[in-house]
Structure 1
Amino acid sequence: MTTPSSPPDDSSALPDDVWEKFQHDSESAIRKTAPKEPSARARMVTRRLREQGPAEPVGWRTGSAWDEMEAPERPAHSRLWQMTRSLLIVIAVGAIVLFALDPSGAMSLLRDKDGGPPATATSAPRAVEPTTTTR
């Protein structure tokens, strides 16, 4: 009978270097797969968790914490400001796109029919001066 630390009786079956490699590989594999005893702290935590019983954790994984949260109600003026701001952004983006696609067309919308600057509501109408020909 052979022991694991000594080669078999029939030494012609395996060379010594092959047998030593087998022993070394087997020992390292056994040590890696051997069960390890948990530490005292790990045993205490395990016992405490068993005493508490099975419980589903509350948190981001379960979603229950998000369900229980209520979003604070925003004041009406805040919602109005957000809507106004959104509308202004949409108008500004539209104007930029219009100008980028057709700059001369966009400028013609801003000009008056006669090619002058746009008339504003605050400007007074221009008085036409009578033309007199005196010679």
Structure 2
Amino acid sequence: MARVTLELPQTFEFSVDLDVRISEINYGNHLGNDRMVTLLHEARLRYLRQFDFAELNIEGFGIMVTDLIVSFRAESFVGDVLTFEVGVTDFNKYGCDFIYRVSNQAQGKLVAEAKTGIVFFDYEERKLARVPAVFIERCSAAG
């Protein structure tokens, strides 16, 4: 079976360190794949906060995840501090991609690479919305 590959930039405009907690450990005694998705979500929230955005209110619109890719490169364990680098790429009329590089800086290893595709959504009208100009202005300038 072919492996998923992601092309990530050399540098990212934002990073945040997040601890791996006991609640994120699975029966294999390492970070569970479902919990990695939760940590990616937290990193995305913190990225948005730097611009005073919230997932449900960016110029009155929310965002919705449309696709997700996570490519694991190494295990991670309780107590590890992971660095989540976050960027925004591939803008289109209704959305863009958030890209992530997750590493364990203390051990000098790449833990995962990931991408979440998002669209903007008008939750009141229940329909897609165009990417707000302020989001493009702030986030594409950062990347």
Bigger Rg, structure 1 or 2: 1
Instruction: State the TM-score, normalized to the length of structure 2.
Output: 0.20
Instruction: State the TM-score, normalized to the length of structure 1.
Output: 0.21
User: Relative contact order (C-alpha < 8 Å, sep 6+): which is higher?
Assistant: 2
| Higher helix proportion | 1
